[in-house]
Amino acid sequence: MYAALGNHLLFPLADSLRVTYSRDRKLNQSSFFLQRFSASATWFALKAITAVKRPEDNGTLKYFYSRRKIGWKTGTSYGSRDAWAIGVTPEYTVGVWVGNADGEGRPGVTGIGCAAPVMFDVFDQLPPSGWFTEPIKDMTVARICTQTGFIAGENCPVVESRRIMNVANLTRTCPYHKIVHLDPTESWQVTDKCMSPARMTTRSWFVLPPVQEFFYRQFHSEYLPLPPVRDDCRYELSLQNPIGLIYPTPGTRIYLPLKGDQKRSKSVWKATHRVPGATLYWHLDNTFLAKTTGDHTIEVMAEPGIHTLTLVDDKGETLTVKVEIIGIAKK
């Protein structure tokens, strides 16, 4: 597959890549179709896996990195039974497997730590190679929102020109930069119903939905949550719901089996709120479950069926979702 990606850039008009290999002392052949992806999609896929620094790299792999440009990826099977590393250049595709022939796992056997160094060593033994030619004819230039990667909208503060695929959707612009109106201290959202426009501060703000914001903030300390709505303006901004349900997500079917004592198991549900100190009131089928502040996590026990979960914050904002519980009913 990796060789086919590389060949698709070298020979864009070819229909397939035929590979001959030896197995059980016999020659075998396989064909990989090459035109399932555009040339530009293939280019961006290989470009994405050429990054030298990987999240799973503990820092020691820098001593093994090849001096040449390689598109590479690693993999580790469950139980550390297999460790893979595969790299591709215009001239070569190298695959390395590390493991035991009987399938027994070994602690610490990973693709990044064991197979990748061997793969880089193999590449260093091969003649030098270049890199693929960018398929510019299969690309177009677009204005991109630097912060989100979407096609830039009119509210994106920083924009740059980038080449993208010709088939990319150019109609959907960045949905996360929005114009907000704030009080002079920029601590509250306001409208012209509660403050004179002459006193307002208007600016573009990077706004993620509550659930995305919950996870994004864990790795981006620079993220600024949207300021809360001032109380006397709240009726004007009711569409900006600050509540998000992390689990269960919409469409989730939750299986809650019976335990040994024939009691129903519990499920852990989690929500988030834009305001860190906000209080949420949990209701299931109009029955009050719990009140949470800060960490909005509760345990829920419910019988099989479709239930209505309602979350209400201390300002009256409401989020209602349907939750389905499955499991063997009590006899």
Domain residue ranges of the chain, discontinuous segments joined by +: 2-125, 136-175, 181-240, 243-326
CATH number of 2-125: 3.40.710.10
Please classify residue 88 by burial: count the beta carbons closer than 10 Å to its beta carbon, then call 0-12 exposed, 13-18 middle and 19+ buried.
buried
Q: What is the pTM of this model?
A: 0.69
pLDDT 10s per residue in the chain (331 long)?
A: 888 889 889 988 887 778 888 888 888 888 877 767 788 999 999 999 986 665 555 555 555 556 678 999 999 998 888 999 999 999 999 999 999 888 888 888 899 889 999 999 999 999 988 899 999 999 999 999 999 999 999 999 999 999 999 887 777 899 999 999 999 999 998 888 888 889 999 999 999 999 999 999 999 999 998 888 888 887 655 557 889 999 998 888 888 777 767 677 788 999 999 888 899 999 999 899 999 998 999 999 888 899 999 999 988 889 999 999 887 544 4
Contact (CB, 8 A) for 268 and 275: no
Q: Determine which helix (DSSP H) or strand (DSSP E) holds 6, and give its type and residue range.
A: helix 2-10
Residue type, 75: G
Strand partners, 312: 281, 318
CATH number of 243-326: 2.60.40.10
Both tokens assigned to 4: 């086919």
Among residues 157, 159, 139, the alpha carbon closest in space to that of 149 is found at: 159
Among residues 228, 222, 214, the alpha carbon closest in space to that of 275 is found at: 228
Indicate the SS3 state at residue 213: helix
Contact (CB, 8 A) for 312 and 322: no
